[in-house]
Amino acid sequence: MEATHDVLVVGAGCAGMRAAIEAHDAGADVGVISKLHPTRSHSGAAEGGINAALGNAGDDDPEKHTFDTVKGSDYLGDQDGIEILCREAPGDIYQLEHWGAFFSRRDDGKLAQRPFGAAGSPRTVFAADITGHVLIQVLYEQLVKRDITVYEEFFAWQLVENDGRCQGVIAWDLVNGGLKTFGGKTVVLCTGGQGRIYRVTTNAYACTGDGMAMALRLGVPLKDMEFMQFHPTTLYPSGVLLTEGCRGEGAYLINKDGERFMQRYAPNALELASRDVVSRSETTEIEAGRGINGSVLLDMRHLGAERIIERLPGSRELSMTFAGVDPIYDPVPVRPGAHYHMGGVDTDNDGATELTGLYAAGETACVSVHGANRLGGNSLMETITFGRRAGRAAAEWALSHTTIDVPTSAEADAARELGRMLDFSGGERPWQIRQDLGSSMLDNFGVFRYADQMAQQVDYLEELKERFDRGVVIEDKGDVFNTDLTSAIELGFCIDLARCMLQAGLARTESRGAHSRPRDYPDRDDENWMRHSISRWNGDGPELSYKEVRVTRFEPMERTY
Amino acid sequence: MDVGLKIWRFNRETGDRELREYEIDAPEEATLLDCLDIVKDKHDGSLAYRKSCRMMICGSCGMRMDGGAVLACKTRIYDVVKDGHVPTISAMGNLPIIKDLVVDMAPFWAKFRAVDPYLRPGYQEPPHGKEHLISPQRMNVIHKEALCINCGCCVSECNAMESDPRFLGPQALAKAMRFVGDPRDGHKIDRLETLNDEHGIWECTRCYFCNERCPKGVDPRDAIAKLGAESMKEGIERDMGAKHAKWFVHSAKTTGWLRETELVPKTQGVVSAIKQTKFALGLLKHGKVPPPFPPHVAEGVGESRRLYDLVQDQGVRGYDAIVQGERALAKLEHMHDEDNGRDPFAEGTLRPYLPDEKPEEIGGANEGMGSLTQADVTPGEEPTRKPEGGA
Amino acid sequence: MKQVAYYKGCLASLSAKELDTSTQALAPKVGLELVELESVTCCGAGDIHEAEPDYYLHLNARILAYAEQTGCDTLMTICNVCTLNLRQANWQLKNDDNLRARVSANLETVGAPPYDGTVDVKHLLWLIAEGDGFERLKTVAHKGLKGLKVAPFYGCQILRPSKLLGFEDPDQPWSLEAIIEACGGEPIDYPAKIKCCGFPIIQAREETALGELIQPIEQASEAGADAIVTPCPLCHLSLDAWQSKLRKQTGKDFAMPILHLSQLIGVAAGLEESELKFKRHVVSVAPVVEKLEA
């Protein structure tokens, strides 16, 4: 074995680093495994902000935040988890500030808070439009301060289960080559989401759902897989994210005639309605022929150069570099893109999964605090609050247990599989399957879902799975920095997760949150469907079952903005 | 469009270096990173490079294009190749190469760790366990240094580091300034003392390559200057570099012109200066060592002396004195057509309107609450429509 | 004739007097009437910018204010460092009302003229690399360099940071090459032409600086250059006066003559030794003179 630790954290974004820090502070010996250097993690790309009911920008309290989140989740969120998130959020923010996080300030020196989608009160703490970057930096600094061991550029590929427990991780050493096995009394999965399943996504190349797929293949249940959030303002054509903060500062969404169409869909909240509402509105406009190049326009001109440069400099640079448009002078073409996955590995409020010793936090996990739709700013908060909770829970369990037992066959089996992959020749390259997956998912499982298309996609995914299993050609046979190999493995993860998503989506005969079936089931059906979808792997493919939603405070109401 | 790329391949195991040329077909909006993806997917799967976010924030894809470090995801390839140019892509400099365009960042991170890159809080607790109260102006002292994404582009081109690999370098020093200038940090003096050591602040050669190459506008050279200024404000002046700088100040306020001849002993100390005698005599022969007497005094030097005293009185010193110029310098980063008078709402442009309003109305932001109130006045101008109605 | 305010800087006043004499002699030939600024001081170099940044700003504001007094719209510099310092101060003052108000008021308090922001700072290099200056240059460099192989060494602070200097592409500059060619010389290309000579740390970190200095000298030498030309007297000091120190490092005696820009053009334009003052150089320029007289 390469090494053993009390707690192994897989993934070093906000959730992973926060979990590692907490586990370390709880007295555990921690090892972080990450396929990227920690500061490269996709959490760093988050822009707009992180929510907490601090009350700096007006009357606010955790109760209001809870209600907004529950409503935003279209009543699919587990309310006890949401209460915990909203209650503990302020303390977590203050802790980050004490660690030196660079946040934007009000004139009186307090943390500034800006309005964000579907929030009754401005509660999004931010750092210009680079909040994720600031959080990644402060967490990495705290990681370095504690001298926590990081195995960076180790690609985690398989979890090891033995004796009813998760016992470790098998990873591919990206820099030097070779499979390395790590033993851990507990493993915390913080590997982010799987936006790269879609052709148009805000996500980094690395967002391929690795942790979810590893858990899935071990038989650990995933929850609410059908709920993929499409962010309304991704740049055309690249899919690069333009923060909701632009709309928070007052930007308009207009169609090709200049009409602020959101008034017709969300007359009170307008551009700052919930993301699923806005994405659907945009898609409707585009499909009705009122878009340009399959996009609508984000208009910031009226904000003025000074405000744009002061509050949204990053967004301006992104528009200019990736869309070739300066928002001071011209509206920016934007369209919905796959952004955040509400579903994930089923966990309790402390990040524990069904498998003893296995935990998950962040986008990888589904507590669920976001239900069927996530509010902007809540995801970063989740990574911190639940990253902390999962880290502590994992540490406490690890410290009260002594053994690690990783069977030697685990690595041997993995090595055989690896050999088979590398040996294969005379077939297609991974990019061909990746492209077909991305396009078909966007067409058939995007913002609006139709039964016939979804059924088609289920079959198509079977086909893609067959093509992948037949073998893909990995041209790089070397040991050193073989991303040709790792990106092929990632593709395999994506296909399996896509199958879970489709199965759950086709079965859910209602519209709720981000899952919208405008033709056959346009309404929310609380009587039959106020429950979580559970996907479990049975060896060949996913199997569906259901789990109740935990309602503590708020009974479901009609959701309008 | 057709894109040609020349890429330096490197195999660490065999030590082989090879310049390979690739011809690809790429969309017009492609970045250099997109082109590398096309090469790897469709032409040569063994090409190794780092990437992740593809939106200039993760810092993975630093590499050299035609000898200068850039972020591959930020580089639109159309402008580079439109006249038929075939760029040469190679790994970043000053770091060992693992494979092709992938460098070993371990030395980079080692220098990062060497400056204690985390907050070392002082004793002052923030009120009620909540946030420290820090004004936006005070926080902005370090806002440029806080932009750093650790991409390595500055380090790649650092001339001082190329000559002396032990130099801490622009990235580590900028990160150090991020904490020296953070009001919540309680160890400024300790930090400055360490940064004034042999491979710190005063080894910077002021080539400005780092400022030039940084894709985020961090301006590491200016961060280093801030550290120097703050060191001297705090009386940390033991380094020859600091003494050298001090002599410039002394010259300016006494004779106006630089007192060149005395610069050597004043910087290096008399004993060391004596060791340079042979060298100095060589210079003296050619008149390169102007006699210190009579001193070359500038006309009107009294004004310069009085300016020095006035500036001391007004007390803008240390890093604040460099930060004060950043407001103006930021205009260089965020250039736009302001002075060309381009009107965003000129004749023929799209005008936003609400479905239940006329198209001529233009709304304005209102303290960021744009969606909750319908401000109908373009800021700073006469109302186009009074809230109660009417003209 | 274009009238320009002339700021010679510290080195040209003293140890690099040859730069001043050759510039003053050359100027009328290339259509420049120099109005020398008397009441000015050192620009502070990178040193005062680092040690006393507010003082640096005021010293440069004062130089600019005195330049404005001449009525010229251009302040001509002959040193890279002066150019960057003055241009940076100029930009900062022009683009920040509060800063300008305080600095200008301070200038008046000490009896100096106020800063109005009416002058643009340009290095001699820029004035003669294109436009009318370049045309004059071509007609005047009649004696010609006769195919002399000249390696251009730009020096950092005439190229970077390009957002403040902005005359040419910092990665692919062309001005020196154009001038060398116009004077009948053959420009020599080599990688280190845009790198640092090490001057700012040549005393405080001699070894590191020499590690930088060796590059242009060795590369130019290996590329067959007869001489190096530079627009910065600080680079000149490194390349010329400190060249002997490279002997210890490499065992080689490069004997590479280093010319100031004004001397290179001056020699092509037929200036006398009394104006060029080659004898003041530490590394003998005799081989160049011989080649040209041959």
If you write DSSP's letter for every residue of B219-288 in order, what string do you get? Answer: -HHHHHHHHHHHHHHTT---SHHHHHHHHHHHHHHHTBS--HHHHHHHHH-HHHHHHTHHHHHHHHHTT-
Cis peptide bond N-terminal to B295, omega within 30: no
- E-assigned strand segments in C58-107: 74-77
Omega before residue B117 within 30° of 0, cis: no
% of residues, chain A, pLDDT over 70: 100
| Position B390 confidence tier, pLDDT thresholds 50, 70, 90 | very low
Average pLDDT over residues A191-217: 97
Domain boundaries for CATH 1.10.1060.10 within chain B: 106-121+137-233
What is the reported pTM?
0.94
SS3 labels along B170-215? HHHHHHHHHHHCCCCECCHHHHHHHHCCCCCHHHCCCCCHHHHHCC
Pairwise CA distance, residues A181 & C259, whole Å: 64
Strands B17-25 and A542-548: unpaired
Q: Is the pLDDT of residue A536 over 60?
A: yes
**Reading across the β-sheet that carries A252-254, which strands appear in turn?**
A228-235, A332-341, A296-299, A252-254
Terminal C-alpha separation, chain C: 34
B385, B376 contact by CB (below 8 A): yes
Cβ-Cβ contacts under 8 Å for B160 (sequence gap 6 or more): B167, B169, B203, B204, B205, B207, C196, C201, C205, C208, C212
Q: What is the DSSP letter of C8?
A: -
- Is pLDDT at A303 greater than 90 in this prediction? yes
May I ask the CATH class of domain A408-528? mainly alpha
- Neighbours of B, requiring at least 3 CB pairs below 8 Å, are A, C
Tokens coding A497: 């997760």
Q: What is the architecture, at CATH level 2, of domain A3-227+340-399?
A: 3-Layer(bba) Sandwich (3.50)
**Other Cβ atoms closer than 10 A to A557:** 10
Q: Between β-strands C186-187 and C258-260, what pairing exists: parallel, antiparallel or unpaired?
A: unpaired
**Number of Cα atoms under 13 Å in the Cβ half of residue C46:** 24
Pairwise CA distance, residues A514 & A230, whole Å:
8
The reported pLDDT for the residue numbered B301 is 87
Q: Determine the Cα–Cα distance for residues A246 and A318; give it in Å rounded to an integer.
A: 12
Size of the A and B interface in Cβ pairs below 8 Å: 238
Over the range B87-117, which residues count as b (16 or more CB within 10 Å of their CB) and which as e?
A: bebbbbbbbebbbbbbbebebbbebbebbbb
Name the more confident of B290 and C188: C188
Confidence (pLDDT) at B370: 33
Q: Is A275 a catalytic residue?
A: yes
**CATH top-level class for B2-103?**
alpha beta
pLDDT at B388 over 50: no
Q: Which residues share a beta bridge with A154?
A: A173
Q: Check A247, A275, A335, A389 and give the catalytic one.
A: A275
Give Rg (Cα) of chain C: 19
Q: Where are the domains of chain C?
A: 2-123, 143-293
| Chain B CB contacts of A97 below 8 Å | 126, 131-132
- Residue B91 is classified by DSSP as P
What's the confidence (pLDDT) of residue C190? 97
Comparing C-alpha atoms, which of A64, A41, A43, A44 is closest to residue A52?
A64
Chain B residues with CB-CB distance to A54 below 8 A: 130
3-class DSSP assignment, residue A38: helix
Interchain proximity C203–B258, CB inside 8 Å = no
Judged by CB atoms closer than 8 Å, whether chains meet at C208 and B246 is answered as no
Residue A121: predicted pLDDT:
85
Answer whether residue B118 shows pLDDT above 90. Answer: yes
Query: Are residues C211 and B322, on separate chains, in Cβ contact within 8 Å?
Result: no
Question: Which residues 222-261 of chain C have a CB within 8 Å of chain B?
Answer: 237, 241, 244-245
Q: CA C19, CA C12: separation in Å to the nearest integer?
A: 6
Helix axes A131-145 and A14-25, enclosed angle (nearest 10): 30
Q: Is there a contact between C263 and C230 (Cβ–Cβ < 8 Å)?
A: no
Of B29, B42, B149, which is closest to A133 when you measure between CB atoms? B149
Read off the tokens for A448: 């609006």
- Between chain A and chain C, are at least 3 CB pairs below 8 A? no
B21: β partners: B6
Concatenate the DSSP letters of all residues of B54-77 into one string.
Answer: SSSSS-TTEEEETTEEEEGGG-BH
Q: Does C195 sit within 8 Å of B325, measured CB to CB?
A: no
Does the domain spanning A233-337 belong to CATH 3.30.1370.160? Answer: no
d(CA A349, CA A388): 11
pLDDT band at residue C33 using 50, 70 and 90 as cut-offs: very high
pLDDT in tens, B132-147: 999 999 999 999 999 9
pLDDT tens for residues A345-369?
A: 999 999 999 999 999 999 999 999 9
Query: Containing H/E element for C198?
Result: none
B106-121+137-233 CATH: 1.10.1060.10
Question: Do B54 and A134 lie within an 8 Å CB cutoff?
Answer: no
ipTM, two decimals, is 0.96
| Amino acid at residue number C275 | E
Domain with CATH 3.10.20.30 in chain B: 2-103
Q: Does C55 have pLDDT greater than 90?
A: yes
- How many Å apart are CA A351 and CA A368, to the nearest integer? 10
Region for residue C45 given its phi and psi (left: phi exceeds 0; alpha: psi -120 to 50; beta: otherwise): left
* Partner residues linked to B11 by β-bridges: B99
Two tokens, residue A373: 């739709």
Mean predicted lDDT score pLDDT of chain B? 87
Residue from B31, B33, B43, B52 whose CB has the most chain A CBs within 10 Å, to mutate? B52
135-174 in C: which are within 8 Å (CB) of B? Answer: 156-157, 160-164, 170-171
Question: What does the DSSP assignment read for B109-159?
Answer: HHHHHHT--S--B-SPPPGGGS-----HHHHHTTTTGGG-----HHHHH-H
Answer whether B146 sits within 8 Å of A331, measured CB to CB.
no
Confidence (pLDDT) at B339: 57
Q: Give the CATH class of C143-293.
A: alpha beta
Q: Where are the domains of chain A?
A: 3-227+340-399, 233-337, 408-528
| Residue B359 pLDDT > 60 | no
Please give, rounded to a whole number of angstroms, the shortest distance from the CA of B340 to a CA of chain A.
Answer: 12
* Cα C262 to the center of its chain, rounded Å: 9
Contact C39 B303 (CB under 8 A): yes
Q: Using CA atoms, how far apart are residues B135 and B348, in angstroms rounded to an integer? A: 43
Tell me what the mean pLDDT of segment C30-48 comes to.
92
Taking an 8 Å cut-off on Cβ atoms, the answer to whether B355 and A321 are in contact is no
Which of the 8 DSSP states describes residue A374?
P
Kindly list the residues from chain B whose CB atom is less than 8 angstroms away from the CB atom of residue A99. 118-119
SS3 content of chain A, % helix, strand, coil (to 5): 40, 20, 40
Q: Where are the alpha helices (DSSP H) in A312-354?
A: 313-318
Alpha-carbon distances, residue B28 vs A378, B31, B32, B215 (angstroms): 37, 9, 11, 22
Q: Kindly report the length of chain A.
A: 561
Least confident of A208-212, A448-452, B257-261: B257-261
- pLDDT at residue B380 greater than cutoff 60: no
Q: Give helix then strand counts, H and E, for chain A.
A: 16, 19
Which residue type occupies B175? K
Whole-number Å distance between alpha carbons of C221 and C228? 9
Hey, what amino acid is at C30?
V
Question: For all residues of chain A together, what is the average pLDDT?
Answer: 95
Arch. (CATH architecture) of C2-123: Up-down Bundle (1.20)
Chain C residues in contact with B310 by the CB 8 A cut-off are 58, 106, 109-110
d(CA C89, CA C48): 13
Higher pLDDT, B298 or A524: A524
| Shortest CA gap A256–chain B (Å) | 8
Q: Which residue, B378, B365, B345, is CA-closest to A270?
A: B365
Percent of chain B with pLDDT over 90: 67
